Amino acid sequence: MPDATPHPAEPVPGPSLPPSAARQRILLTAHDLFYRDGIRATGVDRVIAESGVTKVTFYRHFPSKNDLILAFLAHRHTRWMAWFDEALTRHGNTAAALVPTLAEWAGDPGYRGCAFINSVGEMAQALPEVVAVSRQHKREMVARIATLLPPGPTQADGAEALGLALDGAILRAQFDQNPDAAVATLRHAVARLTTA
Protein backbone atom coordinates (compact mmCIF):
# COMPACT_ATOMS: atom_id res chain seq x y z
CA MET A 1 0.00 0.00 0.00
CA PRO A 2 1.60 3.26 -1.04
CA ASP A 3 2.28 5.58 1.88
CA ALA A 4 -0.79 7.82 1.93
CA THR A 5 -0.26 9.28 5.38
CA PRO A 6 2.22 12.16 5.25
CA HIS A 7 4.09 13.01 8.42
CA PRO A 8 7.19 15.06 9.13
CA ALA A 9 10.50 13.25 8.91
CA GLU A 10 12.03 15.22 11.77
CA PRO A 11 10.59 14.68 15.25
CA VAL A 12 9.20 17.63 17.11
CA PRO A 13 10.04 17.68 20.82
CA GLY A 14 7.20 16.30 22.96
CA PRO A 15 6.41 19.37 25.08
CA SER A 16 5.52 21.49 22.02
CA LEU A 17 2.98 18.97 20.73
CA PRO A 18 -0.67 19.19 21.74
CA PRO A 19 -1.93 15.88 23.19
CA SER A 20 -3.74 14.74 20.02
CA ALA A 21 -0.70 15.58 17.87
CA ALA A 22 1.61 13.68 20.24
CA ARG A 23 -0.61 10.59 20.11
CA GLN A 24 -0.78 10.78 16.33
CA ARG A 25 2.97 11.17 16.02
CA ILE A 26 3.55 8.13 18.26
CA LEU A 27 1.01 6.10 16.31
CA LEU A 28 2.44 7.03 12.90
CA THR A 29 5.97 6.29 14.05
CA ALA A 30 4.92 2.94 15.51
CA HIS A 31 2.98 2.16 12.33
CA ASP A 32 6.03 2.67 10.15
CA LEU A 33 8.41 0.82 12.47
CA PHE A 34 6.09 -2.11 13.23
CA TYR A 35 5.27 -2.60 9.56
CA ARG A 36 8.83 -2.21 8.31
CA ASP A 37 10.82 -3.93 11.06
CA GLY A 38 8.28 -6.05 12.95
CA ILE A 39 6.53 -5.63 16.27
CA ARG A 40 8.92 -7.69 18.39
CA ALA A 41 11.97 -6.01 16.88
CA THR A 42 10.65 -2.54 17.70
CA GLY A 43 10.92 -1.55 21.33
CA VAL A 44 8.99 1.19 23.07
CA ASP A 45 12.19 3.19 23.60
CA ARG A 46 12.77 3.30 19.85
CA VAL A 47 9.21 4.48 19.20
CA ILE A 48 9.65 7.18 21.85
CA ALA A 49 12.98 8.32 20.40
CA GLU A 50 11.81 8.36 16.78
CA SER A 51 8.49 10.04 17.54
CA GLY A 52 10.24 12.76 19.53
CA VAL A 53 8.08 12.51 22.65
CA THR A 54 8.93 11.96 26.28
CA LYS A 55 8.30 8.68 28.10
CA VAL A 56 5.65 10.42 30.18
CA THR A 57 3.85 11.54 27.01
CA PHE A 58 4.10 8.08 25.48
CA TYR A 59 2.71 6.27 28.50
CA ARG A 60 -0.05 8.86 28.93
CA HIS A 61 -1.37 7.83 25.51
CA PHE A 62 -0.33 4.16 25.49
CA PRO A 63 -0.04 2.60 28.97
CA SER A 64 1.67 -0.48 27.48
CA LYS A 65 3.19 -1.72 24.25
CA ASN A 66 0.16 -3.98 23.84
CA ASP A 67 -2.08 -0.90 23.77
CA LEU A 68 0.14 0.56 21.07
CA ILE A 69 0.05 -2.68 19.04
CA LEU A 70 -3.76 -2.74 19.07
CA ALA A 71 -3.89 0.97 18.16
CA PHE A 72 -1.43 0.29 15.32
CA LEU A 73 -3.67 -2.47 13.96
CA ALA A 74 -6.78 -0.28 14.21
CA HIS A 75 -4.97 2.52 12.39
CA ARG A 76 -3.60 0.12 9.77
CA HIS A 77 -7.06 -1.35 9.19
CA THR A 78 -8.66 2.05 8.59
CA ARG A 79 -5.83 3.23 6.38
CA TRP A 80 -5.50 0.02 4.36
CA MET A 81 -9.22 -0.47 3.81
CA ALA A 82 -9.57 3.11 2.55
CA TRP A 83 -6.70 2.53 0.14
CA PHE A 84 -8.04 -0.90 -0.92
CA ASP A 85 -11.49 0.52 -1.65
CA GLU A 86 -10.03 3.45 -3.60
CA ALA A 87 -7.64 1.23 -5.58
CA LEU A 88 -10.35 -1.30 -6.49
CA THR A 89 -12.62 1.52 -7.64
CA ARG A 90 -9.83 3.14 -9.65
CA HIS A 91 -9.02 -0.19 -11.34
CA GLY A 92 -12.58 -0.85 -12.47
CA ASN A 93 -14.39 -2.18 -9.39
CA THR A 94 -14.65 -5.75 -10.71
CA ALA A 95 -12.97 -8.92 -9.48
CA ALA A 96 -10.28 -8.33 -12.10
CA ALA A 97 -9.37 -5.12 -10.22
CA LEU A 98 -7.76 -7.26 -7.51
CA VAL A 99 -4.83 -7.93 -9.84
CA PRO A 100 -3.67 -4.35 -10.56
CA THR A 101 -4.47 -3.45 -6.96
CA LEU A 102 -2.04 -6.10 -5.70
CA ALA A 103 0.52 -5.10 -8.35
CA GLU A 104 0.33 -1.48 -7.20
CA TRP A 105 0.74 -2.37 -3.53
CA ALA A 106 3.40 -5.08 -3.93
CA GLY A 107 5.35 -2.84 -6.29
CA ASP A 108 5.78 -0.21 -3.59
CA PRO A 109 9.36 -0.23 -2.22
CA GLY A 110 8.02 -0.26 1.35
CA TYR A 111 5.89 -3.37 0.77
CA ARG A 112 6.22 -5.90 3.62
CA GLY A 113 3.10 -7.97 3.06
CA CYS A 114 -0.02 -7.95 5.17
CA ALA A 115 0.45 -6.27 8.55
CA PHE A 116 -2.31 -8.47 9.99
CA ILE A 117 -0.84 -11.78 8.84
CA ASN A 118 2.58 -10.62 10.02
CA SER A 119 1.17 -9.55 13.40
CA VAL A 120 -0.59 -12.87 13.97
CA GLY A 121 2.67 -14.66 13.14
CA GLU A 122 4.54 -12.56 15.68
CA MET A 123 2.01 -11.96 18.44
CA ALA A 124 -0.76 -14.59 18.44
CA GLN A 125 0.53 -16.31 21.58
CA ALA A 126 1.59 -13.21 23.50
CA LEU A 127 -1.41 -11.04 22.60
CA PRO A 128 -4.42 -13.12 21.47
CA GLU A 129 -6.44 -9.96 20.74
CA VAL A 130 -4.29 -9.60 17.61
CA VAL A 131 -5.95 -12.70 16.19
CA ALA A 132 -9.47 -11.34 16.74
CA VAL A 133 -8.55 -7.96 15.23
CA SER A 134 -6.94 -9.66 12.23
CA ARG A 135 -9.94 -11.92 11.65
CA GLN A 136 -12.20 -8.87 11.63
CA HIS A 137 -9.88 -7.13 9.15
CA LYS A 138 -10.03 -10.15 6.82
CA ARG A 139 -13.83 -10.33 7.16
CA GLU A 140 -14.08 -6.71 6.05
CA MET A 141 -11.64 -7.31 3.19
CA VAL A 142 -13.75 -10.26 1.98
CA ALA A 143 -16.93 -8.19 2.35
CA ARG A 144 -15.41 -5.55 0.06
CA ILE A 145 -14.38 -8.26 -2.42
CA ALA A 146 -17.97 -9.55 -2.40
CA THR A 147 -19.10 -6.19 -3.81
CA LEU A 148 -17.00 -6.96 -6.90
CA LEU A 149 -19.09 -10.05 -7.68
CA PRO A 150 -22.62 -10.35 -9.00
CA PRO A 151 -25.27 -10.93 -6.34
CA GLY A 152 -26.46 -14.49 -5.99
CA PRO A 153 -26.06 -17.73 -4.09
CA THR A 154 -22.35 -18.08 -4.94
CA GLN A 155 -21.34 -14.50 -4.11
CA ALA A 156 -20.22 -15.19 -0.51
CA ASP A 157 -18.28 -18.35 -1.41
CA GLY A 158 -16.70 -16.60 -4.38
CA ALA A 159 -15.61 -13.69 -2.19
CA GLU A 160 -14.08 -16.10 0.35
CA ALA A 161 -12.18 -17.90 -2.41
CA LEU A 162 -10.91 -14.64 -3.90
CA GLY A 163 -9.92 -13.40 -0.44
CA LEU A 164 -7.91 -16.56 0.13
CA ALA A 165 -6.30 -16.22 -3.31
CA LEU A 166 -5.44 -12.59 -2.55
CA ASP A 167 -3.92 -13.49 0.83
CA GLY A 168 -1.82 -16.18 -0.83
CA ALA A 169 -0.63 -13.74 -3.48
CA ILE A 170 0.17 -11.14 -0.78
CA LEU A 171 2.39 -13.70 0.99
CA ARG A 172 4.01 -14.85 -2.24
CA ALA A 173 4.79 -11.25 -3.22
CA GLN A 174 6.32 -10.70 0.22
CA PHE A 175 8.66 -13.69 -0.07
CA ASP A 176 9.68 -13.34 -3.71
CA GLN A 177 12.28 -10.87 -4.90
CA ASN A 178 9.78 -9.64 -7.47
CA PRO A 179 5.97 -9.57 -7.18
CA ASP A 180 5.36 -10.50 -10.83
CA ALA A 181 4.81 -14.22 -10.18
CA ALA A 182 2.34 -13.49 -7.39
CA VAL A 183 0.45 -11.02 -9.56
CA ALA A 184 0.34 -13.50 -12.47
CA THR A 185 -0.89 -16.28 -10.19
CA LEU A 186 -3.59 -14.03 -8.74
CA ARG A 187 -4.66 -13.07 -12.29
CA HIS A 188 -5.03 -16.76 -13.12
CA ALA A 189 -6.94 -17.48 -9.89
CA VAL A 190 -9.31 -14.54 -10.41
CA ALA A 191 -10.02 -15.69 -13.99
CA ARG A 192 -10.69 -19.27 -12.85
CA LEU A 193 -12.83 -18.28 -9.86
CA THR A 194 -14.96 -15.77 -11.74
CA THR A 195 -15.67 -17.96 -14.78
CA ALA A 196 -16.33 -21.21 -12.91
- Tell me the pLDDT tens digit for each residue of 157-187: 999 999 999 999 999 999 998 999 999 999 9
Sign, CA torsion 109/112/113/115: negative
**What is the rounded distance in angstroms from the CA atom of residue 37 to the CA atom of residue 184?**
27
Q: Is the pLDDT of residue 30 over 80?
A: yes
Domains of the chain: 14-195 (1.10.357.10)
2 confidence band (pLDDT: 50, 70, 90): low
112 confidence band (pLDDT: 50, 70, 90): very high
With a CB cutoff of 8 Å and minimum separation 6, the contacts of 113 are 170, 171, 173, 174
**What is the rounded distance in angstroms from the CA atom of residue 64 to the CA atom of residue 66?**
5
Stretch (H or E) spanning 74: helix 65-90
Q: Average pLDDT for residues 154-158, to the nearest whole number?
A: 96
Q: Is the pLDDT of residue 107 over 80?
A: yes
Each residue of 61-105: pLDDT tens digit? 999 999 999 999 999 999 999 999 999 999 999 999 999 999 999
Mean pLDDT of the chain: 91
| Residue 20 confidence (pLDDT) | 84
- CA separation (Å) from 144 to 25, 74, 119, 140, 190? 30, 17, 22, 6, 15
Specify the higher pLDDT residue, 152 or 5: 152
**What is the rounded distance in angstroms from the CA atom of residue 111 to the CA atom of residue 2?**
8
- Report which of 130, 41, 67, 63 is spatially closest to residue 32, judged by C-alpha positions: 41
Per the CB < 8 A criterion, the answer to whether 170 and 113 are in contact is: yes
Specify the higher pLDDT residue, 115 or 17: 115
Q: Average pLDDT for residues 127-145, to the nearest whole number?
A: 98
The one-character DSSP state at 44 is: H
